[in-house]
Structure 1
Amino acid sequence: MTSTQLYTVPIIPDGLRRVELIKQFADTFDYLDSISQDIFNRISTRLNVYRAQVNQFDKQIQHSDEHINHIKGSKYPIQVHSSARYPIEQNRQIFKSIFECDTDNKPSVFHYDLFHSNESDEKYINSKSNDDTLIVLKQYEENFLQKTRTTNLNGFGRLPTNIKSVISLLKHNTKENP
C-alpha cells in the first residue's frame, strides 16, 4: 500500500515573543481547520458514492422481488436463465483511498510472483507455535527474476516435429529410425 502525505502542519519554533507565538498558533489552527474540512469533504463524497451504490442495489433487489412476486402466482413452469458471474461484476473496482492524489500517485500493482519464500529465515519461527507457521517473503527486483529465468537445455533438446506416435518416439535416435 502506498503512503501518501497530503497535509503538512507547520511546527511552531521555540523562543518567540508572545505576539508572534499567538499569531503562529492562530495560523496553525486555521490550517488545521482547513485540513479537517478537507478530510470531512472527502469522507462525505465517498459516503455519497457508497450511498448511490446501496440505492442501486436496493433497486435491483426491489426489481427481483417484483419479478418473484409476479412469478409466484403462475401455474405454468418457468425456465430461469442466470449467468455464471451474477451478481458479481466482471471487472471489479480497485479500492482507491480518499487521500490519494489523482495525478501524482498511481495505484501500485502487486504481483505475487515477485515474492519468494525463504527457508533460511526459519530461525525466526517460534518452535512453540506449531499451529501458526510464519512465512517470510522477500521481494526481488524484476531484473533478478529475468536473470533467473534462463532456459536450461538438458538432454537431446526438443523433440522433432515429425513424431506422430509413441512408437516413432521410441525409435527416435536409434538405428531403426528412417
Structure 2
Amino acid sequence: MGRDHTIKVYDTKGYEDYTDTFYMDYNGDTVTLQIYLVPVATETAASVTTSSGTGAVRVFVSPGLGQVCIDNRECESSTGAVSTSWNVDFDDVTAGSAHTITVTADGYQTATTQITILPDQVNEADITLQPIPSAADTSIPKTQAGSGGLVALVAAGICGMVFVGKHGE
C-alpha cells in the first residue's frame, strides 16, 4: 500500500519550473527519479515581432501515459509509468481562439477540454484521466441482491418469537 507524491523544482535560475507525481510504496524501497530541467527560452527581436498572434500550451496529464493532441492535428505520446504524470508543450498556437485538447490512453476514458490561448503566454491545462469502469464495477453487488428476503425472514422470526411468547402466557 502506498500513495502518490508530488515533487516540484522551482525558482531555478535559467530553467522552467518542474512538477511531477510519482507513486511510492510503504515497503521501504528507494525511489529514484530522473529530472530534466528545461532551459527558459530567450526571446529574440524576431520572435517578439512574429509571436504576437500566438501562445504556447502546456498540458499536464495524470497518470503519465497516453497521447495528447491539440485540435486533432498535432499530437505527442508518452510511454511513462502509470503512476506518474507528464506534461507536453505545444508552441506557436494561434491566440485569441478556442482550441481542443484531447487525451487518450489504453484503459482510460478519453478526456477533452477547450482552452482559449492568450498571446505570448504559456497557457496551462491539467487533465486527470479516469479509468474505464470494468463490467464488475457496474454490476449490482450480490450483498444487495436478495436482501429483502433476508429482512422478511428476520421479521418473520421476530414476530414468531413474540407470538410464541404470548401464546405461552
- Fold in common (TM above 0.5): no
**What TM-score, normalized by structure 1, do the two folds share?**
0.24
User: Greater strand percent: which structure?
Assistant: 2
User: Greater helix percent: which structure?
Assistant: 1
**What TM-score, normalized by structure 2, do the two folds share?**
0.25
